């Protein structure tokens, strides 16, 4: 059995020299190298941007969507949408473990969720069993490979696996909130009513405590009401985050003119960088979890208004992120029930 590169470059077919994610085509032969594991896949959780693109291109016809997904995987050796570039994640059962795979506690038969993007995961689909058009999940018969540096979480017994899958998709966000928000902080969660936003709001309320203030900015009345009902913020503002001056005025009104120590951006639309920047105090932090963030708009935008703030690119991974996120589902009955309704 040969040993592969820790990052999976041994499976890159073209262009050579790149890592699997940037590659156009990777080798999805389902025979493992000594530092890989083989997974029997149960369900794919396609990235929301990718799923939406496929859904629209196929007019919501699940038969056509099936064909499109199979074509992509046959062509590229991985489920990476060629238009959006994004992937998603999967859950499955461990079928084989290479002798050089570092985590010795993992056992054959363990159920895991991969926490690296499908855009770099070698995948072979034998059959698509069901496409759930409501929640981006695709049940399949198939196999996948995880590299030595690939991260994953063992699925717990006490949480339904599709619920875990939905929550783990955004596990990086609440875990970063846990690291960034301190007692007494003023925190704004932009797009706080969505999936990652709800988990971030919960964590921010916990960290900021009684002396802090958590503000959620949400677009729809419905999502805003949910946050209020669930008591996940001290203040909820209904507004459009692509309108920076409006957001600035509304947020500073509820804080009596105080800027935010930490701003978390969880929206799924472009052009919300300036709102995040304007409401943050000098030497404060903006954490951009949204994949619609533009690097240049953020960099030039902060400079343009002379804001000395730290802007962080939302790394999907941070140590302990899966455990922290699953624990939120255990601790908050309300969030668990809502997510069950939305994502199972």
- Give which of a second copy, ligand NAP, none residue 241 binds (C-beta under 5 to 8 Å, depending on kind): ligand NAP
Closest among 96, 95, 92, 143 to 1, alpha carbons compared = 96
Q: Give yes or no for residue 312 binding ligand NAP (CB under 6 A).
A: no
Task: Tell me, by CB under 6 A, how many residues bind ligand NAP.
Answer: 31
- Give which of a second copy, ligand NAP, none residue 120 binds (C-beta under 5 to 8 Å, depending on kind): a second copy
Q: Which stretch binds ligand NAP (CB under 6 A): 9-17, 127-135, 187-195, 331-339?
A: 187-195
Q: Give yes or no for residue 297 binding a second copy (CB under 8 A).
A: yes
- Positions in 222-261 near a second copy (CB under 8 A): 243-246
Task: Tell me, by CB under 8 A, how many residues bind a second copy.
Answer: 58
Q: Give yes or no for residue 250 binding ligand NAP (CB under 6 A).
A: no
Closest among 54, 61, 57, 60 to 80, alpha carbons compared = 54
Q: Please pick, from the candidates 118, 204, 241, 298, the single residue that binds ligand NAP as defined by CB under 6 A.
A: 241
Q: Which stretch binds a second copy (CB under 8 A): 33-41, 56-64, 134-142, 293-301?
A: 293-301
| Residue 72 host element (H or E) | helix 62-76
Q: Please pick, from the candidates 92, 174, 194, 212, the single residue that binds ligand NAP as defined by CB under 6 A.
A: 194
Q: Give yes or no for residue 84 binding ligand NAP (CB under 6 A).
A: no
How far apart CA 22 and CA 19 sit, in angstroms, is 6
The token pair that represents 289 in the structure block: 């979890």
Closest among 90, 95, 167 to 121, alpha carbons compared = 90
Q: Give yes or no for residue 244 binding ligand NAP (CB under 6 A).
A: no
- Positions in 157-176 near a second copy (CB under 8 A): 172
- The separation between CA 224 and the C-alpha centre of its own chain, rounded to angstroms, equals 21
Question: In the stretch 31-60, what mask flags binding to a second copy with x, by CB under 8 A?
Answer: ------------------------------
- Give which of ligand NAP, a second copy, none residue 195 binds (C-beta under 5 to 8 Å, depending on kind): ligand NAP
Beta bridge partners of 13: none
The DSSP result for 145-204, as a single string, is EE-TT--EEEPPSSS-HHHHHHHHTTTHHHHHHHHH--TT-EEEEETTTSHHHHHHHHHH
Measured CA distances, 226 to 193, 214, 252 (Å): 7, 15, 23
């Amino acid at each position: 059995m040969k040993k592969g590169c820790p990052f999976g470059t041994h499976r890159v077919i073209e262009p050579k020299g790149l890592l699997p994610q940037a590659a156009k085509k990777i080798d999805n032969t389902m025979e493992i190298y000594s530092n890989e594991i083989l997974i029997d896949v149960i369900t794919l959780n396609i990235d929301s941007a990718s799923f939406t693109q496929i859904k629209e291109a196929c007019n919501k016809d699940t038969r056509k969507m099936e064909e499109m997904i199979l074509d992509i995987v046959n062509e590229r050796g991985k489920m990476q949408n060629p238009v959006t570039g994004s992937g998603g994640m999967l859950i499955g059962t461990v079928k084989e473990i290479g002798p050089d795979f570092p985590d010795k506690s993992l056992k054959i038969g363990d159920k895991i969720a991969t926490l690296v993007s499908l855009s770099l995961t070698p995948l072979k689909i034998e059959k698509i069993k069901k496409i759930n058009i409501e929640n981006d999940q695709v049940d399949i018969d198939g196999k996948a490979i995880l590299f030595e540096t690939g991260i994953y979480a063992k699925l717990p017994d006490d949480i339904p696996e599709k619920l875990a899958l939905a929550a783990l998709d955004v596990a990086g966000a609440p875990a970063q909130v846990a690291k960034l928000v301190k007692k007494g902080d003023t925190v704004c969660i932009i797009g706080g009513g969505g999936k990652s936003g709800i988990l971030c709001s919960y964590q921010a309320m916990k960290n900021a405590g009684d002396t802090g203030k958590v503000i959620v900015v949400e677009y729809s009345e419905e999502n805003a009401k949910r946050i209020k009902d669930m008591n996940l913020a001290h203040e909820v503002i209904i507004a459009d985050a692509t309108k920076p001056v409006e957001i600035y005025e509304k947020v500073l009104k509820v804080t009596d003119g105080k800027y935010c120590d930490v701003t978390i951006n969880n929206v799924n639309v472009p052009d919300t960088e300036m709102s995040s920047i304007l409401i943050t105090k000098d030497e404060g932090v903006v954490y951009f979890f949204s994949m619609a963030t533009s690097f240049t708009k953020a960099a030039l935008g902060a400079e343009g208004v002379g804001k000395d703030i730290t802007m962080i690119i939302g790394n999907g991974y941070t140590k302990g992120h899966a455990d922290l996120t699953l624990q939120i589902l255990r601790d908050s009955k309300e969030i668990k029930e809502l997510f069950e309704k939305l994502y199972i």
